[in-house]
Structure 1
Amino acid sequence: MNLRPACVPLLILFAGVLTQDSIVSAADEAVKKVTFEDDVLPVFRQYCLNCHHQGEKKGGLALDTFGSTMEGGGSGEVVFDDGDAEGSRLWQLVNHDDTPVMPPKADKMPADKLAIIRSWIEGGILENSGSKVKKKAANPLTYTPTGGGKPEGPVAMPESVSLETVTETSRPAAVTAIAASPWAPVVAVAGQNQIVLYHTDTSELLGVIPFPEGVAQDLRFSRDGSYLIAGGGEHSASGIVAIYDVKTGNRVGSVGDEFDVVFGADVNESMSNIALGGPQKMLRIYDIPTGERLFDIKKHTDWIYSVAYSPDGVLVASADRSGGLCVWEAETGRLYLNLIGHKGAIYKLAWRDDSNVLASASADGTVKLWEMNGGKAIRSISAHGGGATSVCFDHQGRLATAGVDNRAKLWAADGKLLKEFTNCTEDALEVALSHDGKRIIFGDWNGAIFNASTDDPKVVVALKSNPPSLQARRDQLKQKLVAAQATAVKAKASVDQLAAASAAASKAVTDIDNAVKAANGVMQQKQVEAQKSQTTVAGLEKSLAALRSQLEAQTKQLEQQKAAISAQQAAIAKAKADAAKLTAARPAAEATMKDAQGKIGGAKAALDAANASVGSLQKALEMLGK
């Protein structure tokens, strides 16, 4: 092959890209996909297909093919491709989070088999190795508080509600209804022929509203918290829904003239319609201004226990004693969703603020969360063994529940348990969360009502659905006042004694202060004198240091002089010794000198003779030379 040089780098780069792609593909293949055909079907074959196959679709569900598994059963779809295992009906049953548990009358599947099913769901419920994962849908449990519905001005608080008790009994009856204002620290509690209002923060009694028709079975506040809606009546006799002004406690309207008690009632967001239900199995919608009945919706086959409008007013939900749960178009009354899943009576319905999630509490022990786009049960919470009796949301999306296990519970928005409240001695029947989510109010079969902190379950105050009469409360206050006055007298005497002791102590303190001031004056004078002495001492120390320095210099000089004298004395001694030696050697030297002098004289004579001889020789030479 003949390639131009310019093409070579491009081919090398292209080859590198191909190599990288091959590596990525190899890495993808290395990750084992969990699929229906390869992994899940063998598990189903071992544990499920005896009952759930094409020949015998127990519950309408067949699990022997991918298509039939996706189709679901009589209760609807059992798996979804959103990757949410916790929200899968299939997972809830095989993991024994909901009933009927699978396999029936047997222990859970082994952990490794459950892990395969969970991984398959979380991996996008792939059919086979060639299937592609779809993009996961948004989790409907993810919730961001909106604050919608809050009034622009001040929130409604009881201002002129009567404090007079309507009915006083020897003991309270079972708590039938509790509701908290969505925006104010107010909670309403149903009693016999009355509704009692309390302050959620202080537990102070704020007012008593008459309900002469009997007992309120359902209480709900309007969307802005300005009105209280009460549905109730007398069993097998009459039923009604009344509307009260929260500020005054006055009844401002009522609808319904039922032949039996109203169990569930609610008002839409615009305060134009009221929905109610009860033993007559009819969901009835009334026009508030005219009192006209707009719809009679007959689908439920048993008593309707709970009715609830979505916060946006678009939908209205109703639930019955046989586990039937329907969601209707509020304006038309047409069926929007038929939600199948509960195995027992549904006692309470509650909407999340965004109207996207509906909660239902059932005698089957579960609280289910339903999303409204397709009616999927996105979470089934095994909330209370034996039965869940009530449920509500707060503005954070958290849930509170009550149940026959004598407990109220607080749950996170995703269904995780946060707190348990164990004050009840009988079945907990009703529960509500305060407007700010800081208090949980719940009541039981014995009529006990508790107002507890959601941060600390130990911080709890007892409330009453049948408080004593106003006169009795006045008498109690008078007794407390007399006792307080007696205590005040004793306290005043103690205060007087303490005041006298305090005056004496004050005088003593003053004397001590004066003594301290005098001592401080003396101390200051001494400090001045000490300062002067310190200055003098500093000067003397400085002079002494100079003298010491001078003395050291003089001492050093003296040492040097002593050393010089010692050297001179040594030199004198040596000189004396040398002089003594010379003196002793003088006579010999003088003799030697004399001898030398004689020898010098002889030498001089010889020299003179030699010089004369030299002169004669020179003259002889001169003569010869001529």
Structure 2
Amino acid sequence: MRVPFAFALTILMLAVALHPTTTAADEAVPTGSPPEAVDYGRDIAPIFEVYCVACHTADDANGEFVLDSFADLLGGGEHGPAITPGEPDSSRLFLMVAGRIEPVMPPDDMEGPNEAERALLRLWIEQGAKGPEGDPPVRRMPRTPQIERTSNQPLPITAVALAPQQPHLAVARFRSVEIVEVGSEKTLRTLPEQPGKVNDLRFSSDGRRLVVASGVTGAFGQASVYEVASGERIAELVGHRDILYAAALSPDGKTVATAGYDAEVRLWDLASGELLQTLSGHNGAIFDVAFSPDGAVLATASADETVKLWKVSSGERLDTLAQPQGEVWSVAFTPDGERIVAGSADNQFRVWKFVSRERARTNPLVATRFADEAPLVRLTLTADGQRLIVASAAGRLTMFDTASWSQVSDLPDGSDLISDIAVNPAGDRAVVGSMDGTLSWIDLPSGPEAMAAQGTRFADSPQPIEEIYLTVEALAELQEPTGGENQRSEQAMPLPRGAIVQGVLQAGDGDTAAVDWFRFDARRGEVWMIETQAARDGSPLDSVVQVFDAASQPVLRTRLQAVHESYFTFRGKDSTQSNDFRLFDWQAMELNDYLYSAGEVTRLWMYPRGPDSGFNVYPGTGARWTFFDTTPVTHALQEPAYIVRELAPGESPASNGLPVFEIPYLNDDDGSRQIGSDSRLRFVAPSDGSYKIAVRDARGLGGADFKYRLTLRPASPDYRPRVDKITQPIPAGAGREFRVAIVRSDDYPGPVEFEISGLPEGLHATEHVVIEAGQNEAFGVVWADADVPANQTFAPPRVVARAKILGRVVERAAGDLGELKTGPRPQATLRIVPDIDASSSAGDPDDASATEAVAASETATLRIRPGETISAVVHVDRHGNEGEIRLGNEFAGRNMPHGVFVDNIGLSGLLVLPGSDRQQFFITAAPTAALGPRLFHLTAAIEGGITSPPVLLEVVEE
């Protein structure tokens, strides 16, 4: 199968092709006197095909007149018969074509038959308007403009094939196929011109014959079979109503299977050219066909997102493999006949156990593997069946081991428009054809070399790596070579252990890509930071950094096992949005779950808070974070997304039918959102050895102005704290909220505690405000006693942050709360109290005894278990404000433990109704909520935001 790049690409190739276009109607026009007997199939049908059929088919029958068949032609239209045999001057069709009655056909703005064609049509009617003898012709050519090709750019390569037992390579371009000698690359012969785009090439099992699948879009499909040695065409199989995408010879060379855009499969006897079977059942174009090794079963891959299996002898459908979530573009049987493999537009390939050999049976799915961020357009197996090569629409090539279906190597990238790939019989080389006209060979690692490549993707042992943090006295200041010597991986510039390199990313020159390479040594467990500075200095470089091993193989960072499949609903997401992630089946997801989509990993931070909301992802507000140094990207509506978990070193993936995502050490844009579009990567050496850093532009560009600074330094986990000042007076008997925040350095994950000192008498503050592990902010309260005089001013209280990093306490000054002022009593004050008995009259805001019970218990602690919901009461003392008091929406509970939130707030949020002095509310703890106490408060949207005193909320064990 060769990738169908839709109609637009076919039309493009028609436009750029050098060859002139000749229509069937032109061939039918006589140069002298007409033949004695006009033949409908030879002379008349082509005229109708060129000028009439487009507007008169069963699907689009203008005037209820259909020209799909001769019988339809005789049936006429809404005005009766179109043809009166023997009398052209009484035949409505002829009179309209001749322009003698209205409406003239074709319409005035369309070209109609020329004089010779009209004369031929008239003569046919005079001779009795006789129909075809036997089956009508299928092949027809559209009338298209002749555009002379002016570019010297090679025509796109649309298909390639390697002969199994001969040193022959077949290469297809528009309308042409060449046979090339492997090794010398000499063209041995060019096959006769094809009718249009060639989508598939297949050699017979002995390499002596070649089947070519082609046709004309919207017209017909054609498969031709040639003797390779002579170039002689031995069969021409025409019967499809649209272009072919695939054709294959059975292993015994006796049967040809063809398929294409018309969603039908046809089986032909090669010796006689007889049509044996027409297989119908797909609801979309068929992109690939494959015979089982014994030739008894045919597999077909389709745009309807299925693979179907057919019994060749009878045409019976044996099974439909419906697990793919996108168009299936490639299918193959393993050489031993035990497995079926198919790649699809959902970026995954799937493997089924082949059991439906003689009768209809369910073929169980045994593996699903994510292979790339782009649709998989081609897959092929080595002759020994031990390795699978997968090509993506993004031009990436990946090799998998078929014993475990695990990835063993990233191959050199091809063109972004890979059309086909073929592997030689020895399994050590592959040839790649691309739509940019290039043909390239790549070496395939095999045996120990492939296993060595696999080994570099993982740690040396299945044991977790103990991280080692080092220090260096100073970073060496270096200059990259000016001659571009380090643009090849084997010439990587050596770096000392800690360096800053001033570099320029030069453009590639055809032999070298626009990539700069650097080399450094590291021991197992050492943690290094790799960072670029380019965009921050105004450079046009959009940097990407990646770490490779000494053999220039990508180093694997981790593996993520998908455990739940979903997709984006309602709308897509840009690369910064952190809220409203609406996901299918979100109820099965949990806070802190990792969410993988299109190569980006983020993390669920807050549940949807109603029917018109979605998850917030980390950090909860602002630009979203990514994890494992993946890069933030834009997500489309209905784009696949997965809940994933990190596999431990050496852990085997679960056989759950969902993909495993391999995350390399690679970063485009910093996932912590601290340095913009520059790159930052945290690298933990999986083993002792030499490693390489590749620096490139995300767009593949380069030039003299693409300057950058590359830093390689030991990781030093740290944090930078700050506190927001309180700017409004603190009312007597109420409080004001303040916020503390940190910026984490080098992925420091732990908690940070803030302590406030220097508060005057009568003012109080939340003690020990703590930013939890993995979070970036927390909130506290400064409140005043009810008898504190107004209009007092106090010196700014100081705030100090402390954290334990690598076994030592690191203290940082966070600033101060600003100059504090007191104010008069507000028009309302708040208190949070336990709900004494949610099932009793305590839930009635007008019950006086309930109110007294609540007030008496205001010093109690609220306790909640993970997964539990409890109720509490906010009590309002009104001092003039009798209106509605709003306490917030999804962020109503201030400074609650992560995963604990005010629940069931509705569209209006948490509020106290006018005239009421209390409101019950509900607090829910996620199953993942961490155990321990935490002070929280509520903030009312009155007088600039006044708060309740903080209340202790403790998450306790079951």
**Which TM-score applies when normalising by structure 2?**
0.29
Which is bigger in relative contact order (C-alpha 8 A, separation at least 6)?
1
Which has the greater radius of gyration? 1
Name the structure with the higher helix share. 1
Write 1 or 2 for the structure with the bigger share of strand: 2
TM norm structure 1: 0.44
